[in-house]
């Protein structure tokens, strides 16, 4: 539960996919990414094709996410409550997946397949110390999933759905929101963080358009030998999860009448 060192190099030399929540997910057939172990984050388990993936690890590192509302320090966490309940159900449903959540959520969510992450748990004997010396390895989903892959010894990583971090032109919004996303100019490319882990991992980002300035870019057409096809959120999410996500005021889930 608290000992991350037990995961050190358990996938040494292997390849994995890491799935993010970027809008490019809408153009991808996720079943094309099932030939390697998967690490996911965010709400990827809500995707209709999630069970067709080979996801063994899932990360949701938001602090205080599962705590009672009286403990939560920010209003947006209280607004997230329907989402936190749905994520808790996901952890109970997929017993064969190892989940990683922020230490602040103990003991509100516990289980044999639940692990806790926090920079305080990274000690001098940890492989993650060289990352911790630069920044918190669990400061967000991008850093946390890559830090986990680095700890586990993967030698090649394919990033799927990290549009804001690795692809230019970058798109904001998320795959479960309505529309194709919006172009924006990112300010953070995590260059120091990536330089550290790229010493031991080859990192690719899969895109349907654009290039990358911080990792190796590979085009979806070239990788899968098929054309990207856009699907709206209601085509890849069932209505149960659309309603859960619509409960959070910052998400644009349904078209305005």
Q: What is the CATH number of the domain that holds 49?
A: 3.90.1480
Provide the pLDDT for residue 123: 87
The pLDDT tens digits of the residues spanning 45-104 come to 999 999 999 999 999 999 999 999 999 999 999 999 999 999 999 999 999 999 999 999
Distance of alpha carbon 116 from alpha carbon 105, whole angstroms: 8
Q: What confidence category does residue 256 fall into, taking pLDDT thresholds of 50, 70 and 90? A: low
φ, ψ for residue 41, nearest 5 deg: -150, 175
Distance of alpha carbon 178 from alpha carbon 234, whole angstroms: 8
Instruction: Using a cut of 0.85, tell me whether the model's pTM lies above it.
Output: yes
Closest CA to 215 of 249, 168, 252, 183: 168
Distance of alpha carbon 114 from alpha carbon 60, whole angstroms: 11
Q: Is residue 254 in some structural domain?
A: no
Mean pLDDT of the region 13-24: 97
The pLDDT tens digits of the residues spanning 102-149 come to 999 999 999 999 999 999 999 888 899 999 999 999 999 999 999 999
φ, ψ for residue 253, nearest 5 deg: -95, -40
What average pLDDT is seen over the chain? 95
Per DSSP bridges, beta strands 156-160 and 170-172 are unpaired
Mean pLDDT of the region 204-219: 95
Q: Is residue 84 in some structural domain?
A: yes
Percent of the chain with pLDDT over 90: 91
Q: Is residue 256 in some structural domain?
A: no
Distance of alpha carbon 138 from alpha carbon 101, whole angstroms: 10
Number of domains in the chain: 1
Q: Is residue 190 in some structural domain?
A: yes
Closest CA to 66 of 31, 110, 34: 110
Is the pLDDT score of 250 beyond 70? yes
Q: Specify whether the CB–CB gap between 7 and 99 falls below 8 A.
A: no
Closest CA to 164 of 186, 135, 191: 186
Q: Is residue 61 in some structural domain?
A: yes
Q: What confidence category does residue 188 fall into, taking pLDDT thresholds of 50, 70 and 90? A: confident
Q: Is residue 255 in some structural domain?
A: no
Stated as kind and residue range, the H or E segment containing 217 is: strand 216-219
Provide the pLDDT for residue 68: 94
Stated as kind and residue range, the H or E segment containing 146 is: helix 141-152
The length of the chain, given as a count of residues: 257
Q: Specify whether the CB–CB gap between 215 and 203 falls below 8 A.
A: yes
Is the pLDDT score of 27 beyond 80? yes
Q: Is residue 82 in some structural domain?
A: yes
Q: Is residue 257 in some structural domain?
A: no
Q: Which domain holds residue 32?
A: 4-246
For the record, the structure tokens of 130 come out as 């060289």
Cβ neighbors of 257 (< 8 A, separation 6 or more) are none
Q: Strand, coil or helix: what is 255?
A: coil
Q: What confidence category does residue 257 fall into, taking pLDDT thresholds of 50, 70 and 90? A: very low
Cβ neighbors of 239 (< 8 A, separation 6 or more) are none
Is the pLDDT score of 177 beyond 70? yes
φ, ψ for residue 82, nearest 5 deg: -60, -35
Mean pLDDT of the region 191-196: 94
Mean pLDDT of the region 162-183: 93
């Amino acid at each position: 539960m608290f000992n991350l060192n037990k995961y050190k190099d358990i996938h040494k030399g292997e390849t994995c996919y890491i799935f993010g929540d970027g809008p490019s997910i809408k153009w991808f057939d996720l079943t094309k990414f099932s030939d390697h172990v998967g690490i996911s984050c965010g709400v990827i388990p809500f995707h209709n094709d999630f069970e067709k993936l080979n996801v063994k690890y899932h990360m949701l590192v938001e602090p205080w996410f599962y705590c009672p509302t009286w403990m939560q320090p920010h209003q947006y966490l209280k607004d997230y409550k329907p989402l936190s309940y749905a994520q808790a159900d996901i952890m109970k449903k997929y017993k064969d997946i190892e989940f990683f959540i922020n230490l602040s959520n103990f003991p509100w969510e516990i289980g044999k397949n639940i692990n806790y992450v926090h920079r305080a748990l990274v000690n001098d004997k940890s492989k993650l110390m060289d990352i911790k010396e630069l920044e918190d390895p669990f400061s967000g989903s991008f850093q946390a999933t890559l830090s986990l892959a680095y700890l586990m010894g993967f030698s090649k990583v394919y990033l799927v759905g990290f549009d804001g971090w690795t692809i230019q032109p970058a798109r904001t919004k998320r795959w479960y929101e309505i529309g194709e996303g919006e172009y924006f100019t990112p300010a953070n490319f995590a260059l120091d963080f990536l330089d550290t882990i790229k010493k031991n991992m080859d990192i690719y980002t899969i895109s349907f358009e654009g290039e990358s300035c911080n990792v190796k870019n590979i085009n979806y057409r070239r990788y899968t030998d098929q054309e990207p096809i856009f699907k709206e959120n209601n085509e890849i999410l069932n209505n149960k999860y659309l309603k859960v996500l619509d409960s959070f005021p910052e998400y644009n889930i349904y078209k305005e009448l």
